[in-house]
Structure 1
């Protein structure tokens, strides 16, 4: 039998919560299967909560309190864990923040900014400063750190989902950073492609009318759960799990993918744009242009 893995309750709020959950379960003499019996969740799900990897849904917290006789403790504290897990992220992004760690594949269409999973620190800071003109530096730092933590998804020691992203060509030509930093941003994406961590396609600026012209999207597919679609606006996000709607969004994404350049040509375009910034061929973001 494999040795039981200890839980470090000092590492984070979710792990503190999980360690207390395991303690109470052991105290009651219950197995994982015994505690989830009568709920809609499995033993594996509960084990991941105990190790701080997944959030505790409200209905499961209520079930646990009832079985363990813990007087509403886990229900009251599950919101604290949710806040800790989404630190640096908007509340409406919480479901995707967890789901992307367990996804089999992630497909994304990002026409206006490089996706958060691909952004460098300077790119993130420029975006946040553009919107948070009066935001405190520590608030911006918290958001940047939260977004950088998401990118650990692509590290070699992490079980990486298949990530496919379609970018609009205008992102390569829009210098929201000084040339050196734009070079670094594009080099970062190219490096992920070359390491086979992501698949990328570029939609040319002159491709004409195409699918998904009215928004962005993340489509998440799972081995053991129905797929999700996430759409985001400036100050809100919407997660869609209705099977009929998900099917329509997936069809739109497939049509968009067909209109985009192949991965090899897309990588060449990214590298060409990076060289342009590196050699000063791209316009500086502060350059003033005179209109006739």
Structure 2
């Protein structure tokens, strides 16, 4: 792929190359020396500011001793790097797209998440996350797989405890606050957790009341991610597919949807009152 504005595939490959280099215990200078590249070139590849060239990436993967099946997956992404969107189909164990989501969230400076029927993952308790993952699956996963997925979901929440966390603006459907996911005790603990979370200065939660009627959020949950220098991403997660979008038209469509949902959401103070009152009623 020639130099230019990076796509989501090229950005993901760049991050993976950086991770693999560190895993191999090499510096960018050492990689450049062994492959006949400048240190600056290696750094540009890893930050996505330089175009991905198949030969360079293949040489790096060989140097890092990446298994051939994984090499083939990464090289396929390089070949398709000019395509603006990225659709992934869920597999067993910890899905690759979950790690992708963690990577993007860790780089974001602002996150806007809408969910109508569940509390967003960044604001879930461990018990609620376990129940949500298990009970919404067509086929409940084995306990070992469930443990991995819950741990991954909780790991995502670490970004909210950083010294300089991203801002999180969540729009949550009223139904999500009333559905007893995991049973009354777990649902009650989740409401109390949410009531504590909204006290953080970088977390804003607004409730979309049932009385709001039809709005774009009824088409499904989504997340918008904004970055310091890279263009924004839109992320949607459905039963068998995860879609990362970075083309301007798709991101604009999700922004317009966000604006329309925001217009019918309760103000922040009224939302906080709804959450705290429901938490008090649900308390054992």
Q: TM-score, normalised by structure 2?
A: 0.74
Q: Distance in 1 between matches of 2:61 and 2:106?
A: 32
Task: Say if 2:211 is the partner of 1:218.
Answer: no
**1:217, 1:231 within 8 Å by CA — same for their partners in 2?**
yes
Q: 1:243 aligns with which of 243, 248, 256?
A: 248
Q: Distance in 1 between matches of 2:55 and 2:25?
A: 18
Q: Distance in 1 between matches of 2:149 and 2:225?
A: 23
Q: 1:256 aligns with which of 261, 264, 271?
A: 261
Cα shift at 1:234: 1.1
Pair 15,115 (structure 1): closer, same or farther in 2 beyond 3 Å: farther
For residue 205 of structure 2, what is the aligned residue in structure 1? Answer: 200
Q: 1:233 aligns with which of 210, 233, 238?
A: 238
Q: Distance in 2 between matches of 1:110 and 1:127?
A: 13
Q: Distance in 1 between matches of 2:149 and 2:61?
A: 38
Pair 73,148 (structure 1): closer, same or farther in 2 beyond 3 Å: same
For residue 96 of structure 2, what is the aligned residue in structure 1? Answer: 91
For residue 39 of structure 2, what is the aligned residue in structure 1? Answer: 32
For residue 63 of structure 1, what is the aligned residue in structure 2? Answer: 56
**2:110, 2:168 within 8 Å by CA — same for their partners in 1?**
yes
Pair 61,172 (structure 1): closer, same or farther in 2 beyond 3 Å: same
**1:65, 1:73 within 8 Å by CA — same for their partners in 2?**
no
Pair 198,33 (structure 1): closer, same or farther in 2 beyond 3 Å: same
Pair 69,115 (structure 1): closer, same or farther in 2 beyond 3 Å: closer
Q: 1:138 aligns with which of 94, 119, 144?
A: 144
Aligned residues: 247
Q: Distance in 2 between matches of 1:69 and 1:261?
A: 50
Q: 2:130 aligns with which of 125, 134, 148?
A: 125
Q: Secondary structure at the match of 1:220?
A: strand
Q: 1:275 aligns with which of 246, 267, 280?
A: 280
**1:65, 1:72 within 8 Å by CA — same for their partners in 2?**
no
- Greater helix fraction, Structure 1 or Structure 2: 2
**1:58, 1:75 within 8 Å by CA — same for their partners in 2?**
no
Q: Secondary structure at the match of 1:271?
A: helix
Q: Secondary structure at the match of 1:230?
A: strand
Pair 227,30 (structure 1): closer, same or farther in 2 beyond 3 Å: same
**1:118, 1:151 within 8 Å by CA — same for their partners in 2?**
yes
Task: Say if 2:141 is the partner of 1:148.
Answer: no
- C-alpha root-mean-square deviation of aligned residues, in Å? 3.3
The one of the two structures with greater contact order (alpha-carbon pairs below 8 A, sep at least 6) is: 2
Q: 1:166 aligns with which of 168, 171, 177?
A: 171
Alignment gaps of 5+ in structure 2: 1-18, 75-90
Task: Say if 2:13 is the partner of 1:20.
Answer: no
Pair 147,15 (structure 1): closer, same or farther in 2 beyond 3 Å: farther
Q: Distance in 2 between matches of 1:103 and 1:221?
A: 6
Which of structures 1 and 2 has the bigger CA Rg?
A: 1
